Each structure stands twice: as C-alpha cells, then as structure tokens.
Amino acid sequence: MAYLLLAALIFLADFFVKSQIEARKPSDFPVELSHGLKLERHHNRGFFLNRLEEKPRLVRALAACAAVPLALWCVISMAKKGGAVKKTAAAFLLGGAASNLFDRFTRGYVVDYLRLSGAGIKKIRNIIFNIADFFLFLGAALLAVRSLFSK
C-alpha cells in the first residue's frame, strides 16, 4: 500500500506543479532558478523531444498501450513480498507514467517545465522535463541497477 501511495504522491506533486505552470502567463517565462535550472513552459505533444508530435492521436494510443501492461506489472510487483527496490522503482514508474498519460488525455499535451540550462553538454541543455519524467528515468535506472546485482 505504501508503494501505491508513493506513486500517487508523485502524480499529485507533478499535477500540482503543472497546474501552477499552466496558470501563469507565457510572458512569466523563463525563470532562472539556482544550480543551473531554468523554469519554462513547454507543451510536448509528442514523445521524448517531441518525437511524433505531428501525430497526437498515435502518441496517445501508444502511450495508453504502454501504460496498461506497465500498470499491471507495477501492481503485481507491489503485491509480492519483499523486493523493496523493485517496488520503489515500480512506484516511480507508475506515478510518472500516470501523470504524463493524464496530461495527454486531458490537455492533449504533456506540460514540461524544467531545463538544465547550466549543463555542460549541449544536448542535455535542450531537454525540458517535468517531475514525472524525472521519476520515470529514476525508476528505469533503479531497475537497471537492480538487474545488475540480482541473481
């Protein structure tokens, strides 16, 4: 139950920040934050880096098709005993995926708002992401590291 709560908290945190970003005027952006972060407002109608943005119906369909088995895997993983790292990763993936999927179906786009403007690598400076994206990456990284150390 705690892992489902964690997924819900990730969803709610991202939803809250996205709502705050959307409520502001476009002229309020960008905002320089500390540590090389920049707050922006970007509407991503595609996948990572706007891939397939010209086909929003396909993007929604593919996202929904990916979300169903992911959600089932997460719930099954959380129901089993033990495996705290796997369950944490599942919660991160579920919360992040649910938030971005919710955006796709309610807004027609995903709200991205953080840019690593101080990053030394130019390609990284071009990426705008949100809390959901961060947790999707973190959940996938946790699973990858876990698989390296499991039998």
At 45-102, the pLDDT tens digits run 988 767 788 888 888 889 899 999 998 998 888 888 888 999 999 999 999 999 999 9
Task: Say which residues have a Cβ less than 8 Å from residue 125's Cβ, sequence separation at least 6.
Answer: 115, 116, 117, 118, 119
pLDDT tens per residue across span 92-121: 999 999 999 999 999 999 999 998 877 666
**Whole-prediction pTM value?**
0.88
Measure CA 92 to chain center. 9
The residue among 85, 66, 91, 67 whose CA lies nearest residue 147 is 85
Cα–Cα dist 102/108, whole Å: 9
Write out the DSSP string of 60-74: HHHHHHHHHHHHHHH
Q: One-letter amino acid identity for 54? A: E
Cα–Cα dist 95/3, whole Å: 10
Q: One-letter amino acid identity for 132? A: A
Task: Say which residues have a Cβ less than 8 Å from residue 33's Cβ, sequence separation at least 6.
Answer: 39
